[in-house]
Amino acid sequence: MNSQVVLTALGQVSGTVFWMFVGFMLIEVSIWAVGNKVLKNKNTLVAMLVTPAFVGLGLLLVFPLIYEVVLAFSNMNLYHFRNPEFSLLNGLDNFKRVFTKPVLQSTTFVPVLLRTFLWTSQVFIHASFGMLLAMLLNRPGLKFKNVYRAILILPWAMPQVISALTWRSEFNFEYGFPNILLNRIGLPGIQWKADAVWNFIAMVLTNVWLGIPFMMVISLGGLQSISAEFYEAADMDGASGWTKFQNITLPLMKPVLAPSVMLGIIWTFNNFNIPYFINEMKLESSEILVTALFRAAFNFSQYGFSAAFALIIFALLFSMTLVYVKWTGALKGVTD
């Protein structure tokens, strides 16, 4: 850390911000000139307001996606980095390889896919425990509610990289607390990092710890918005706790839960940090789709192949989400 580093950083970053600003100004002026002076369109101001963001998204999101499609039809890897060939045949070969050849050294697509589904299904654990904690917190007249809430929300508040790295070191065989606790009660320690099954369980444990608070907070928000009158009316009719949960709480929570479970599924499916860090020994038996994709691209430098792999993963996630949205109506009212 010295003054030269500081100056380089400031110079580069302010230059970048400045040139982006100039670029956007040029866009604005040309839209204004064309829209207002030439076409006399009443939507010129709207166009000026929305264009910068969508140009940015277009350049940094849509364009890379298109480039990815192009890459999927190339043989780009470490040997063909400078002079890749683009052809339909390469593309077909890449897509075929995803399903027929190992995606990493030995593991193939289907086991990774099934493992990803198993991994993603933990969202239901997040949601049920989150809901349970929210219902406990929502009891009328509960003391220390804010203290509990502040503590229970901590895993969500922590930077994820720190949680992941910390849990990873806690899965150390000798000095991590899970094994120390097991030893104290007379059980042998677990090989959290070397054993395939336990490593996957370690990943899930970490991510459950991380995922519950989000669902808890969302559920608590939903529960608080349910009017107490429903429950009072049910009490008068002599309804049991379970009946009330089934017939009042769940149906009224659906509009809140459905979108957050969808978010949870997308986040978990795409979660990179936890599987990447907890799997310290790079066991291929712990890879989920996104980490396998990362390793195929950046450990094995199979860029063309990874592009095809990425497109398949995206298609999968996209269709899963569509089915979910159709099934639950999770996105009703987004265009209001």
Partner 1 sequence: MKKIGHQDPLWVKAIIHALLITACLITIYPILRIMTISLRPGDRLMSTSLAIIPPDATFLNYKAALFEKDFLLWLWNSLVITLATAVIGLSLASTSAYAISRWKFPGRNAMLIFLLGTQMIPAAMLMVPLYLLAAKFGLINTYRGLVIAYSVSAVPFSIWILKGYYDSIPTTLEEAAMIDGASRMYTFWKIILPLTTPALAIAFLFNFMNSWNEFMLARIMLPKAGMFTWPLGLQSLQGQFTTQWGVYAASSMMISVPVVALFLYSSKWLVNGLTAGSVKG
Span 212-241, contacts to partner 1 by CB under 8 A: 213, 217-218, 221-222, 225, 228, 231-232, 235
Question: Footprint of partner 1 on residues 56-85 (CB under 8 A)?
Answer: 56-57, 60-61, 64-65, 67-68, 71, 76
Q: Which amino acid, one-letter code, is at 335? A: T
Contact 49, 66 (CB under 8 A): no
Find the part of the chain contacting partner 1 (CB under 8 A) among 103-111, 116-124, 165-173, 242-250: 165-173
Q: Is 336 in the site for partner 1 (CB under 8 A)?
A: yes
Looking from the CA of 299 toward its CB, the CA atoms found within 13 Å total 12
* Interaction of residue 10 with partner 1, rule CB under 8 A: yes
Window of 32-40, 96-104, 194-202, 274-282 that interacts with partner 1 by CB under 8 A: 274-282
Is residue 290 a contact point for partner 1 (CB under 8 A)? yes
> Is there binding between residue 175 and partner 1 (CB under 8 A)?
yes
Contact indicator for 214, 131 with CB cutoff of 8 Å: no
Measure Cα distances from 225 to 219, 252, 259 in Å.
10, 9, 16
Q: For residues 129-158, which are near partner 1 according to CB under 8 A?
A: 133, 136-137, 139-144, 148, 150-158
- Could you give the CA distance from residue 173 to residue 297 in angstroms, rounded to a whole number? 31
Residue 24 or 198 with smaller CB distance to partner 1: 24
Q: Does 177 bind partner 1 (CB under 8 A)?
A: yes
Enumerate residues 182-201 that contact partner 1 by CB under 8 A: 183-184
Q: Are 314 and 290 in contact (CB under 8 A)?
A: no
Tokens of 141: 């007249």
Residues 88-107 that bind partner 1 (CB under 8 A): none
Q: Does 40 bind partner 1 (CB under 8 A)?
A: no
State the residue for tokens 């607390």. Answer: 177
| Distances in whole angstroms, Cα of residue 296 to Cα of each of 63, 68, 77, 163 | 22, 15, 10, 25
- Residues between 298 and 327 with contacts to partner 1, criterion CB under 8 A: 298, 303, 306-307, 310-311, 313-314, 317-318, 321
* C-beta closer to partner 1: residue 134 or 200: 134
The CA-CA-CA angle for residues 7, 9, 14, to 5°, reads 95
DSSP SS3 for 86:
strand
